Amino acid sequence: MVSRRKLLAGGTTIAAGAAAAAVSRMAMAALPEPVLQTRPDTMPPLAPATGRPYRPVVTLNGWTLPWRMNQGVKEFHLVAEPVVREMAPGFKAHLWGYNGQSPGPTIEVVEGDRVRLFVTNRLGELHSIHWHGQRLPNGMDGVTGLNQPGIPPGKTFVYEFVARRPGTFMYHPHADEMVQMAMGMMGFWVTHPKGHHPLIDDVDRDFCFLLNAFDIEPGSATPKIMTMLEFNLWAWNSRIFPGIDPFVVRHMDRVRIRVGNLTMTNHPIHLHGMEFQVTGTDGGPTPRSTRRHEITEDIAVGQMRQLEFVADEEGDWAIHCHKSHHTMNAMGHGVPTMIGVDHREVVSKINRLIPDYMVMGERGMKDMTEMEMALPDNTAPMMAGQGPFGAVGMGGMFSVLKVRKDQKPGDYGDPGWYRHPPGTVAYEWTGSLPDPARFAAEGGGSMPPAAPVRMPVEVKARKPGGGHGGHDGHGRH
């Protein structure tokens, strides 16, 4: 999160870019200097120093790309290049991205702005960028081969169009799409409304992030690019829990969270504690008559959603993808279910033969966080987050919405854990326990079986084994 120290450090980088807004006429003939940012921290919102005013967004574990005004045109410079992204503390991945990061920086403009984007290709193969959702001239749409030739390695292309409609957008490659997106190339784009818009409310805090997924074999650092279903790292802006910053807001703030999905499956994003409304989709702001309260919004592949709510409940509220496999980090193996089995002796014997062997905990997966196991080098922590009451047995797409009365306006700094008022935390029952009254185990049905049951069977629920690609859950290693 944005501490004072980080703010200063990050501010230097961004200020250097903002200063480019005041370059000489001579320099205006040249490309805008690319601004690079390699820290994975959530940077403070970039207040517009030039152009039309707006309330800037905060990019989760990311930043907004500074621009320069050149005779009324907003100029940005994106550099497509290999990057090293810290996905969680102690876990770095070799990805591709823009300007030092995966995802690339967020681009913020105002409805009606003329935008000129210089795109420099520092990859070893053709590149192009598609401005997902924008109204623009066909030749600016970025599909290699269809709308333009691919940008060769080492070359820079220029895209120029007017940001015609306000809303939530993304950008991503449209050259060798599968590889380049699997490697982490994507970014967020927000077009703010010009003046008051009847369907776009002012908010106090405006967050954005992309859903993305990677398949990085434990022990390696580069994603596999052929994967279609069996991803093992489910990320928000190329970060995984516990490495995802919290969303920090003031009590009674009006909050907007913008989410875009550039994975290959849907993600039901679930907020605890409060209901939100979906105020915008890919097509723009939603009519007020269609808005209803939700606590989970399924975001399909290639879609964007704006979730809005008034933060009227204090506390530390979970926000996560509701697919439970997406709140887990990389797993080393097709893990057998061992619930109910005391396997400690077995494991130590197997480990003599197969040092990396792991089994699922006997009381559930959370056991693994407490077991002494050597993970291969550069493996994401299986599940590790230390909350105020102990370990949080999660990974992947999980973060915390922190609602505080004493948070200052504009302060996104982490306030620490919520201090619950006395008597408002679930507690242990210490009285006597009556024997539970149980119903019979056999149920009825809408019809009797056609033939009497000869041989009753009893099974235990078991996670699907590895090797067959039918489910979109954990890795199959």
Q: Minimum CB separation from Cu ion for residue 299, in Å?
A: 9
Nearer to Cu ion, 119 or 211 (CB): 211
Nearer to Cu ion, 205 or 326 (CB): 326
Per-residue binding string, Cu ion, 363-402, x by CB under 5 A, is: ----------------------------------------
Q: Minimum CB separation from Cu ion for residue 45, in Å?
A: 27
Residues contacting residue 310 through CB under 8 Å, at least 6 positions apart: 252, 253, 254, 255, 274
Report d(CA 426, CA 386) in Å as an integer.
18
CA 398 to chain centroid, in Å, comes to 9
Nearer to Cu ion, 44 or 103 (CB): 103
User: Residue 199: what are its φ and ψ, rounded to 5°?
Assistant: -110, 5
CA-CA-CA-CA torsion sign (295, 256, 107, 104): negative
The burial of 409, by beta-carbon neighbours within 10 Å (0-12 exposed, 13-18 middle, 19 or more buried), is given as exposed
Residues contacting residue 228 through CB under 8 Å, at least 6 positions apart: 264, 469
- Stretch of 9-17, 251-259, 326-334, 373-381 contacting Cu ion, by CB under 5 A: 326-334
Per-residue binding string, Cu ion, 236-275, x by CB under 5 A, is: -------------------------------x--------
Phi-psi region of 343 (alpha: psi -120 to 50; beta: other; left: phi over 0): alpha
CA 85 to chain centroid, in Å, comes to 14
Beta strands 398-404 and 247-250 are parallel
Q: Minimum CB separation from Cu ion for residue 399, in Å?
A: 13
Report d(CA 74, CA 160) in Å as an integer.
10
User: Residue 323: what are its φ and ψ, rounded to 5°?
Assistant: -80, 115
Q: Minimum CB separation from Cu ion for residue 130, in Å?
A: 23
Beta strands in 89-155 (DSSP E): 91-98, 107-110, 114-121, 129-132
Q: Minimum CB separation from Cu ion for residue 397, in Å?
A: 5
Nearer to Cu ion, 130 or 326 (CB): 326
- Stretch of 8-16, 139-147, 324-332, 368-376 contacting Cu ion, by CB under 5 A: 324-332
- Stretch of 253-261, 325-333, 363-371, 431-439 contacting Cu ion, by CB under 5 A: 325-333
- Residue in the block written with tokens 């067959």: 468
- Stretch of 116-124, 222-230, 313-321, 431-439 contacting Cu ion, by CB under 5 A: 313-321
Q: Which tokens is 48 given?
A: 């517009």
Q: Minimum CB separation from Cu ion for residue 398, in Å?
A: 10
- Stretch of 286-294, 323-331, 334-342, 386-394 contacting Cu ion, by CB under 5 A: 323-331
Q: Minimum CB separation from Cu ion for residue 463, in Å?
A: 17
- Stretch of 87-95, 320-328, 359-367, 419-427 contacting Cu ion, by CB under 5 A: 320-328
Per-residue binding string, Cu ion, 37-76, x by CB under 5 A, is: ----------------------------------------
Q: Minimum CB separation from Cu ion for residue 432, in Å?
A: 43
Q: Minimum CB separation from Cu ion for residue 326, in Å?
A: 3
Asked if 323 is part of the footprint of Cu ion (rule: CB under 5 A), the reply reads yes
Contact in structure between 368 and 329 (CB atoms under 8 Å): no
Q: Which of 83, 311, 321, 384 binds Cu ion (CB under 5 A)?
A: 321
Report d(CA 165, CA 283) in Å as an integer.
9
**Cβ-based neighbour number of residue 117 at 10 Å:** 23
Residue 290, amino acid: T
Identify the DSSP state of 429: -
Q: Minimum CB separation from Cu ion for residue 28, in Å?
A: 45
Nearer to Cu ion, 105 or 396 (CB): 396
Q: Which of 85, 127, 270, 326 binds Cu ion (CB under 5 A)?
A: 326
CA-CA-CA-CA torsion sign (281, 76, 74, 208): positive
- Overall size of the chain counted in residues: 477
What number of chain residues touch Cu ion (CB under 5 A)? 4
List contacts with Cu ion (CB under 5 A): 267, 321, 323, 326
